[in-house]
Copies of this chain bind each other. A is one copy, B any other.
Amino acid sequence: MSGANLTSMSAAPILVVGSVALDSVRTPFGEVVDALGGSASYFSMSASHFAPVRLVAVVGDDFPGEHCALLESRGVDLSGLERADGRTFRWRGEYAAELGHAHTLETQLNVFSTFHPRLDDTHRKTPFVFLANIDPDLQLEVLRQIKRPVLSLSDTMNYWIARKPDRVLDVLREVDVALLNEEEARALAGETQLVRAADRLLEQGARAVIVKKGEHGALYQSREERFITPAFPVHGLTDPTGAGDSFAGGFIGWLARCGDLGPNALRQALACGATMASLAIEDFSPRRLVEARPEEILERLRTLHGMMHFDLLDPFAAPR
């Protein structure tokens, strides 16, 4: 465990509200049963490499203490992790050879079905906030409770876009940056071309969107700026679960750590997101994120930077 560098003096804390789950996942490379999962878990493990994380979620009375210990080993503040009577939220899914899309076999909301995030005073004043993929009505409840943060980021999924598109758009308008995957952006915007879809979401009131494109990286687009990161090329893809939340953790983690929201910081934040996502998918559950050493994260960041960085020459300058 590399818990030693968690609480950098300069890094601002991050609040995450989302799910903590027990996942049973099968991929062509193996399977796990009742492993630690959920958007808030992946996010926390990822972001904790950059800044202290405060987690708000709910688990049942069957939730193993070892999972809490693992989160705490990464310095995650679990004072907001509610323990309710009943069973923990469970997800069971599998991926085919292409690994592109999860096929959900079973979702048991359990204690999550009656969850309403309760934020204490410390939670409310956290400067960086991630609203992980939960019911947009719950996301709006959180937004009503918090003091205006330095940066808020939201995630969602097709399930909510199909059922509550207006609520998803309400969240989109409230947060600083909205995270969506390609399909979700297309569905919510009603546009097949990705660049137009991002534009359309801005017209609909989003301040900035990040479109996650899986193995093709991610696109950040605000009214003023557009940045792109490729994905970090992974050879040992094992389980794509949690890639998006791990991306979010690297993205907001870097911003919380560097204390800058300028263009250079945003571009590096995308690269940090891509880096953390590449680690997450190399093993089941957020195991790889727990093990990752700072040198390893830095090495991937350097590789990713090196793949795209060049000094631009003017092709039409006078012949040399």
Which residues on the B side are within 8 Å of A192 (C-beta)?
A: 97-98
Copy total for this chain: 2
In chain A, positions 254-298 with a C-beta closer than 8 Å to chain B are 254, 257-258, 263-264, 267-268, 271-272, 294-295, 297-298
Given contacts A195-B233, A233-B195, A235-B196, contact A297 B312 (CB under 8 A): no
The answer for the CA separation of A311 and B229 in the assembled complex, in Å, is 14
Q: Report whether A228 and B308 are in contact in the complex, using a CB–CB cutoff of 8 Å.
A: yes
Q: Mark A247-258, 1 if CB is under 8 A from B, else 0.
A: 000000010011
Tell me if A118 counts as interface (CB < 8 A to partner B). no
Shortest beta-carbon contacts, A-B, top 4: A267-B310, A216-B216, A294-B316, A10-B319
Name A's B-contacting residues (CB within 8 A): 5, 8-11, 49-50, 97-99, 192-196, 199, 213, 215-217, 219, 226-230, 233-235, 237, 254, 257-258, 263-264, 267-268, 271-272, 294-295, 297-298, 301-302, 305, 307-316, 319-320
A sample of 9 more A-B contacts (CB under 8 A), given A196-B235, A213-B216, A267-B309, is A9-B319, A193-B237, A216-B216, A268-B312, A272-B315, A295-B316, A298-B315, A301-B315, A308-B309
